[in-house]
Amino acid sequence: MRALREVAGRAQEKYGHIAHVALAQRLQDALRSVTCETQIEHHEIGTRIERSGDTGRVVHRDRRVALGLEDLREQRRDVAVVLDDDHAPRSLRPFAHRHTLRRILNRVPTRKRKPGFDTLAIHAGQEPEGLTGAVTVPIFQTSTFAQEAVGKNKGYEYARTGNPTRTALETCLAALEDGRWALAFGSGMAATDAIAHLLKTGDHVVMGDDVYGGTYRLFVRVFEQLGIATTAVDMREHASTRKAMRKNTRLVWIETPTNPLMKVLDIRALADIAHKGKALAVVDNTFASPYLQNPLAHGADLALHSTTKYIGGHSDVVGGAIIGNDPQLRERLAFLQNAVGGVPGPLDAWLVLRGAKTLSVRMERHSANGQAVAEWLRDHPKVSRVNYPGLRSHPQHDVAKRQMRLFGGMLSFELKAGEAAAKRMAARTRIFALAESLGGVESLIEVPLAMTHGSVRGTKLAPPAGLVRLSVGIETVDDLIEDLAEAIG
Ligand code: P1T
């Protein structure tokens, strides 16, 4: 073990590159066996450790290179084995996104500063392809991967278990949420389902009382049948949330901002409540996107996204993702990802990855347009109420300012004339398309209770029947306001 550390230390000193592999214990175990899939994280997914004589060999599938550990001393190569145990020096702890960037800028000396969000969005997991130099990650449209001998492969076996395009997406998403790993799914609901599958009969879930209708439907209509009860509570009220916790509460589901009422929940405070009760704190970060809010930095255990929305950004793909730090949680969720099989196809993974590259510039415009539309609606004589965290009048504006970078493009409002007028208005816009979903470059309008939230009708989660929800796109804002003005009449 010490020898490995020394090699890693020297590689780090000499080359300034870090490729983390796994917990030191796992590395040790791997070296004891002849060949072993290591703990899988970030772009190192599928890296195998093979024993070769007295030393280990790292087979790094992304680059299709096999480096003897000894080689690292001699060669200027950007792959090293690094430890992730408590004894490893801090400088050797894995920092996958920084490492990824170093791999891209192969000859740039070690930098202290962490790469910025946009650099990560464009480069993390997306270094030029090894065989051809293709600058864009290829769509590996294959269901399986040829093996050299039984059990000997280049890190991929079967595309449900892993696909290089998906690996690139997962690496990028981990970097954007500043997490240590990400897992991509075929939809936001498939990602939610994987988390729900961490639970067992007799467990209990505490959930916000304003969440995406499909999330509530999954927990109440599917998992309650399996003996997992859910309590919905207004999570703006921390005392009520604490009261809703039971001895058997294992999951606290925090969606913020909430869909569709735009409540803003204090992630740090709710994560503390969850952890006091030994429950996992999961934040559905779909409405904010990783550019506006990073739940892991506020104490959440997992961040979840419907990548269908802002990350994909172009209304052309359905996808989901989970991001976290704890390797054990990753192992359990990766098992479920493979065992249940709700994975994205390679083209879908590629589309989400392409969307992610422009996330920050889109979110800046979504937020500017969202603020302008919210202020215009606030001042409109026929509007009774506007829910947008960027308005100073929003009851949790201060919490939003603390945990969000900007306030995004989602808002909801009510007309004084009520439900029928709201439905008429939603059908009259010309630029805002009347459609479910959100987060694309094009503006959308909908009436939640009649559309996205039909599954909570008749429950205490039901939004007001006359509530109109807008996903404000990145079109010219004056055109958007004019469209709304004509539709309200
Ligand atoms: O649609 P899917 O990719 O499966 O994601 C589900 C989901 C999860 N979490 C939030 C906060 C969501 O808003 C969604 C999907 N929401 C819509 C389709 C909608 O129009 O609200």
Q: How many CB atoms lie within 10 A of CB 127?
A: 21
Q: Tokens standing for 418? A: 């009520």
The single residue of 62, 203, 284, 483 carrying the catalytic annotation is 284
Tell me which residue range forms the domain holding 108.
2-112
- Give the pTM: 0.81
The reply to whether 160 belongs to the active site is yes
Number of domains in the chain: 3
Q: Who's near 391: CB < 8 A, 6+ residues apart? A: 374, 375, 378, 397
Contact 359 CB / ligand 1 (< 6 Å): no
Last residue of a domain, one of 71, 87, 112: 112
What are the φ and ψ backbone dihedral angles of 454, each rounded to 5 degrees? -55, -30
Q: How many Å lie between the centroid of ligand 1 and the Cα of residue 309? A: 8
Q: What pLDDT shows up at residue 131?
A: 87
Contact 345 CB / ligand 1 (< 6 Å): no
Q: How many CB atoms lie within 10 A of CB 362?
A: 22
One domain, residues 68 and 174: no
Contact 223 CB / ligand 1 (< 6 Å): no
Q: What pLDDT shows up at residue 344?
A: 98
Q: Is residue 121 part of a domain?
A: no
Ligand 1 atom with least separation from CA of 192: 8
One domain, residues 346 and 405: no
Contact 454 CB / ligand 1 (< 6 Å): no
What is the spatial order of strands in the sheet that 181-185 belongs to?
181-185, 320-324, 302-306, 280-284, 249-255, 204-208, 229-233
pLDDT by residue for the chain (489 residues), tens only, comes to 444 455 445 544 443 333 333 333 344 344 443 232 232 222 333 444 444 443 444 444 333 222 333 333 333 333 333 333 333 333 333 333 334 434 433 333 344 567 899 999 999 999 898 889 999 999 999 999 999 999 888 899 999 999 999 999 999 999 999 999 999 999 999 999 999 999 999 999 999 999 999 999 999 999 999 999 999 999 999 999 999 999 999 999 999 999 999 999 999 999 999 999 999 999 999 999 999 999 999 999 999 999 999 999 999 999 999 999 999 999 999 999 999 999 999 999 999 999 999 999 999 999 999 999 999 999 999 999 999 999 999 999 999 999 999 999 999 999 999 999 999 999 999 999 999 999 999 999 999 999 999 999 999 999 999 999 999 999 999 999 999 999 999
Task: In whole angstroms, give the CA distance from residue 187 to residue 195.
Answer: 13
One domain, residues 323 and 453: no
Q: Tokens standing for 167? A: 């690996």
One domain, residues 369 and 427: yes
Residue among 255, 259, 262 whose CB has most ligand 1 atoms within 8 A, to mutate:
259
The reply to whether 85 belongs to the active site is no
One domain, residues 367 and 342: no
CA-closest residue to ligand 1 atom 17: 437
Q: What pLDDT shows up at residue 6?
A: 54
Q: Tokens standing for 72? A: 């690292």
CATH of the domain at 442: 3.90.1150.10
One domain, residues 339 and 370: no
Paired strand residues for 156:
none
One domain, residues 331 and 386: no
Contact 216 CB / ligand 1 (< 6 Å): no
Q: What pLDDT shows up at residue 19?
A: 36
The reply to whether 29 belongs to the active site is no
The single residue of 63, 77, 114, 160 carrying the catalytic annotation is 160
The reply to whether 309 belongs to the active site is yes
